[in-house]
Every structure is written in structure tokens, then in C-alpha cells.
A and B are shown apart, each in its own frame.
Chain A
Amino acid sequence: MPYTEVLAILSIVSFFLMLAIGMPVALTLAVSGLVFGYLGFGPVLFNLLPARIFGVTANYTLIAIPLFVFMGVMLEKSKIADDLMDVIGHLAGGLRGGMGIGIILVGVLLGATTGIVGATIVTLGLITLPALMRRNYHVPTACGTICASGTLGQIIPPSTILILLADILGQSVGTLFAAALFPGLMLSAIFVIYMLVLGMVKPELVPPVTLAERETMGRGELWLKAARVGLPPVALVLAVLGSIIGGIAAPTEAASMGALGSVLVVALSGRFSLSVLRETTLSTTRITAGMMFILICAQVFALAFRGLNGEALVHDMFKWLPGGINSDILFMMFIIFVLGFFIEWIEISYIVVPLFLPILQANNVDLVWVAALIALNLQTSFLTPPFGWALFYLRSVAPPSVSTLDIYKGVVPFILLQLVALAFLFNFPQIATWLPRAIGW
């Protein structure tokens, strides 16, 4: 085996070793890249770095990220989550498993409007978990529902994963938004069906809300409130998504309108102030820059790994694989799933996906479909311990009586359901490709 390929393998080994002993993820990426890149090429590699890093920060497609994040954080300030949960809780509460379904529906709406996993899970966890426990919900089921609903924001457009994948796979953001819409809704539907089935098979796990409690608010009043809290943000997002998918506006343009509109929505809800604006800008900066930090460090690793011929290594690995391109894709999905236990979606999309890209292109695989598969797959990375953001966020707000094991146990069924959704999408690519084709992308 050539010297450089040995170094490429060593860089992966050192990455996982440093990661395991608890060094920061970004640091392990940068150090493995720098050290083994230097051993392979000397300083030549380093001279390429500034231009690469500058390229990341000056990437036009990625401008949509701070804009959508701004919109999400701002809408979140209108307390849309609290109000929506209140209304949907009342509407769905009568059903066995209804509260769970309510959480999933709120997850779908928040996924489309705010789309920020951390904020969604923290809010849902704070509002609903104590309420569910008071009603004797099965604690792991409650935790799993909240975590899984919170992650829906990653697949339901607009989402940052899709923007980054569009850039990596060379597709338009609008196409991927269109492609992810039905897989996202399908996944949500699968979650809802699971809740309904649970309500029938094991009703004691998911008890309904008592009638007396639900009657504190009249039907008419409830619908009025639903319209008042839900309509403005949902209308805003539909306008934004509609103009992107319909091809009226470029994603970044529509995102800026969405951001501006979110200020209006919050102002309408009477919760706008200068300090809200300041908090929103600061959160936006933190979230965007935090992502960029990982991207920059991932760039260091990716540059070294590719320079060390790591790509050929991956290519050879695929050549050993029996079966055609489908087994290649399955293998890729497997690797992404396993990596999701240890690293974040950003590193996976930025380092791993480009390595597979040549193989996919050589086989004329529909990249739009693959993007939807990857996005759906990456969503599990939020739920898989030890490194699952959703678990971490819920832990930070769950009452002390909820054990970490409760949360772990709770997400297992939802991870399996996500794999079911993935299997559906794998066998029926039309779920993803139909909409982009229908609107003529």
C-alpha cells in the first residue's frame, strides 16, 4: 500500500482515538488533518488552506443559512411553540396517544417555521414533559416523542442540512427543498401512526386528557386561538417555501424576505422589542459561526484526506463490495448511520458525502434522491447516543426524576421508525423525486 494511503488511514484512526478520549471534535479534525497532511506533503498543503477557508465563508449558497436561522430564532421569540402546543394539546387531547400526536404535529409546524432542533426540543421539553408526566404518560415514550418531533425540523424544509447538501452535491437548494418535503411528511405520518397504534395496543402508556380538563376552553375560542397563533408564521413559511419551490425567488432571496417577515410576525404578536432583535442577531451569529467553525476544521481534514489519496481508498473499498450500485448506496447509508452515533451531521455531510460523490456520479444515480436519503439518514444522528443532540437538549431541561436511560429507551422506537422511512424512500424514490419533477426542476 502506498505511503500516502497509510497516512490517510492513520488520520482516520487518530481522529477516532482523540475523539474517544474526549478532545473537542473540531480540534481532532484539524489536528489529524494538519499532522498527517504535513507528513504527506510538507508545507505545500498548508498554503492551500487560507483560500479553502475563505471559500467556505464566501460561499453564496451558504448565505441562506444565517437568514433562515434568523427567521427561525425570531419566530421562536413569538412564543409560537407555547401557543401551538396549548391549542393542539386541547384539540388532540381526547384521543389515546393524542398528546403524543399533538407534539408530533407541533414538531412538523415548528420544523417548517423555526426549524431549530435545539430550541424546539427545549421548548417542547419544558412545556409538555411535565404535563405528560402529570397525566401518567409512559416517561420513555414521552421523551422519545419529544426528541423525535424536535428533529423533524432537519428534514422538513427549509433546513440547514438541505442547504449544505445542495452545495456539496451541486444541486439547487430549491430542488432539495422540494425533494425533502414528502419524505419529511411521510416520516411525520409514520410517527403519528405509531402513536395511534400505541394508543390501541398499549393504551396505558399514552392516556388521553380528561374531558373536564379539555372543556376549560370552548371549541370556538380554541379555533380562534389556533388561527391567531398558527396562521401568521405558517403563512409566512408557506410564502417563503412556495416562492422557492415555485421558482419565483432564489432561496437566499426568499430567506431574506422570510427573515424580514418574521420580524413582522413577532411584532404582530406584540412581543417585538429591541432586546428581542439583539438576542436574535446574537443567536444567529452564534449558530452560524459555530457551524462555520466545524466546516473550517472539517475543510482542513478533508483537504488532507483527499490529498493523501483517501478517495482512492474509499473507491477500492467499494470495488470489493458485491452487488451493484444499490449495495453501494446501502453501504453508504450504513456508514452514515454508524458515523451518526459519534459525529455531527455537518462533519458527515462535509467529509463523508464528497468521498462517495464520484461513485454516485459514475453510476448516474439520481443525486436528488440520494440527497433526500442522506438527509433522512442524518436525522437519526440527532437521536443516536452517545452523540445525539436531541438527547442532550432534552436532558438539559428534563426534570431530575427522568433518567438518562429513560431518554435513551424512548428514542429507540423512533430510530427504528426512521429506518422504516428510509427503507420506504429507498424502495420508492418517487417519494422524493416526484415533486421536483412535477414542478419541472
Chain B
Amino acid sequence: MQAIKRVADGLDWFIDRVGRITGWCAFALVCVMAFNVLLRYFFRTGSVAMQELEWHLMAPICLLGLSYALLHDGHVKVDILYGRFSYRTQKIIDLISMVLVCFVVGLLMVLSLPYVEQSYSIGEKSPDPGGLENRWILKALLPVGFGLLLIQSIGATLRAFIAVVEPPPPPEALPSPSLGIVPSAPSSASPNAGH
């Protein structure tokens, strides 16, 4: 059991690192966007490549950030019947859910491979003159992002497995009565989570 936990910790550590690097894309987006705006309004100039870079930065924030977001904020669940089930039933539902998540994410990853391949084989690039080339790199973020999410989901599945096998914690260690929403996984409500 300790070994499984160590593996899960390792996977989480990896995803956290990748997420921390990805985070800078958000700042880069702010800078690139602001730079383009200032250039346009003050010098009446700008480049197509820099403008395309704007949404080329959006894709990594979304796709590479997926695993990081789920690592820290967890999956969102609704407590309609869940709260009334026994502890063990809840943990089994969690485990089944996570296994399904692995399947879905793995499927999305595999499905996106031919999509990238096609883009690569036809040498897809920006239709605008002066635009960015090698569109396949951007599209490759789909399988890479889902691959990272798969790694995160495997980690979460391992933890869900441990929770099923291990005896339930003493009652006082259980979280206070939930309020309908159960953020699974390691996170607690953080002030910055939100919409």
C-alpha cells in the first residue's frame, strides 16, 4: 500500500511541476496581448505572427493546465444520493468514477493522435501571410494535454483504490457534513478557486 501511495505522490509531483511551468503561459498571454495592443494604438503597427501567438498561448493554458486544475481543485460532484451511501459505497463509486475517467481521457488522447498526424502530413500552417507555421505543434497539445490528464487520473485512481482497501478513518477525521458539492481528490476549498 505504501508503494502505491509513493507512486501516486510521484505522479502528482510531476503534474504539479508541469502545471507550475504552464502557469507562466497565462502571464505571457497578458504580456503578448498588451504588447500587441500598445503597438497598434501607439505605433499603428503589429505582426500577424504576434497576434496568432495570442491564441497559441490560450491552448497550452487550457490543455496543459487541465491536469494541474484537476490535481488541485478535484472533480466536481453533486451530492443528491451520494451523501446517504455508506463510506465504503462512496469510496467504491469514487474508484469506479476514476477508472472511467482514465478510460475517457485515454480515449480522447488516442482519438486526437490522427488529428495531429493529419495536420503534420499536410504541413498545415496559418492561412494568413506572415502567420505562424507548423500548426501541428499546437494541435499536438491535445494528445499531450490528455496524456498529462491521464497521468493525473491514474494517480487519483490509485488514491481511490487505497481509500477502498484501507479501513475508514475514525469518525472525527471525516469531513464535516457536506453541502451538496464534494470536491474529490486532495484539495480543500481554496480562496482562489472560482468562476
Contact = CB atoms under 8 A, between A and B. Distances in A.
A73 B191 CA distance: 10
B79 interface: yes
B189 A291 contact: no
A19 B78 contact: yes
Given A22-B85, A22-B93, A70-B26, A287 B78 contact: no
A363 interface: no
A196 interface: no
Contact of A51 (B36, B115, B176, B182): B115
Chain A, interface size category, equals 35 or more
A56 B62 CA distance: 9
B23 to A, nearest CB: 4
A118 B195 contact: yes
Interface string B26-50: 1101110110110000000000000
Contacts of A57: 58-59, 62-63, 141
Interface string B121-156: 000000000000000001101100000000000000
B167 interface: no
B179 A25 contact: no
Nearest to B153: A27
Contacts, number: 250
A285 interface: yes
A290 interface: yes
Nearest to A248: B41
Main SS class of interface, B = helix
A4 B118 CA distance: 31
B66 A289 contact: yes
Interface of B: 19-20, 22-27, 29-31, 33-34, 36-37, 54-55, 58-59, 61-66, 68-70, 72-73, 75-83, 85, 90, 93-94, 96-97, 100-101, 104, 107-108, 111-112, 114-115, 138-139, 141-142, 176-177, 179-182, 184, 188-189, 191-195
**10 interchain residue pairs of minimum CB distance:** A118-B194, A22-B82, A386-B180, A289-B65, A24-B75, A256-B33, A396-B189, A50-B115, A289-B69, A283-B192
Interface of A: 19-27, 30-31, 34, 46-47, 49-51, 53-54, 56-60, 62-63, 66-67, 70, 73, 76, 116-120, 122-123, 154, 160, 249, 252-253, 255-257, 259-260, 277-294, 296, 342-346, 385-389, 391-393, 395-397, 400, 404, 407
